[in-house]
Structure 1
Amino acid sequence: MITGLDHVQLAAPPGSEEALCRYYEGALGMARVAKPAALAPCGGCWFEAGTVRLHVGIEDAFRPAAKAHPGILVTDIDALAARLAAHGADLTWDDNLPGHRRFYSHDPVGNRLEFLEPLS
């Protein structure tokens, strides 16, 4: 009955939207999309790239998860790693997933993100 994943929701502290936009738009190259009018007063921001949709909502008692993360499929993982490093993002490569190259990084508020590319 499940047909797909609509979006991933991450959390962020109040007032972090500008830093989030610099990271998700600038470093990752995602497009910011308008939130529906009924949800806009809640703050946060939404981003899309291809079929990937990330919603970042504001949480007053925000604390980034230590392990939870979205796994984002990419092409040309080396170019993405270089782009993120050029924007000052941390990168931790991990070769423990057979058939993939992958690394972890964190957005400006500490959300953990996994980027992975299947090996040919």
Structure 2
Amino acid sequence: MISAIDHVQLATPAGSEDDLRAFYAGALGMTEIPKPPALAARGGCWFQTGPVQLHLGIERNFSPAKKAHPGLRVTGIEAFAARLTAHGVNVTWDDDLPGHLRFFAHDPVGNRLEFLEPVTPSGRGE
């Protein structure tokens, strides 16, 4: 039986690791975690925060995910959006999901990411 998502993998072009580190570790505040040696030889990089892992793997003939995306739950979403904006990341707010504050952003290679926070009865993030 499925009990949780272990990780989400996103594709990335060869040679993009430094830009990914600046974004996922620098802007998002995630920690880079080591890949097993056999997988490290393939390139890419992995990041983690709490139980959430994102794996960025090299894909030949890379094309960014324009619609498909991980939905990442955050706390203090307004401050988090301001953090990303301060790092030069464009955030696009969307109010189409009832009961949530949310925005979309793209990583340096164009992959779409969703950030969301459930709202309290007062209408603010938890």
Letter in 2 for 1:52: V
Structure 1: distance between partners of 2:86 and 2:51: 25
Q: Per-residue displacement from partner, 1:28-87 (whole Å, max 9, x unpaired)? A: 000000000111100000000011100000112100122000000000001110000001
Structure 2: distance between partners of 1:5 and 1:60: 25
Secondary structure at 1:47's aligned position in 2?
Answer: strand
Number of equivalences: 120
Match of 1:31 in 2: 31
Match of 1:118 in 2: 118
Structure 2: distance between partners of 1:92 and 1:110: 14
TM-score computed with the length of structure 2 as normaliser:
0.94
Runs (5+) with no aligned partner, structure 2: 121-126
Letter in 1 for 2:98: P
Match of 2:124 in 1: none
Match of 1:94 in 2: 94
**RMSD, aligned CA:** 0.5
- The alpha-carbon deviation at position 88 of structure 1 amounts to 0.5
Quick check: 1:70 aligned with 2:75?
A: no
- The alpha-carbon deviation at position 23 of structure 1 amounts to 0.2
Match of 1:7 in 2: 7
TM-score computed with the length of structure 1 as normaliser:
0.99
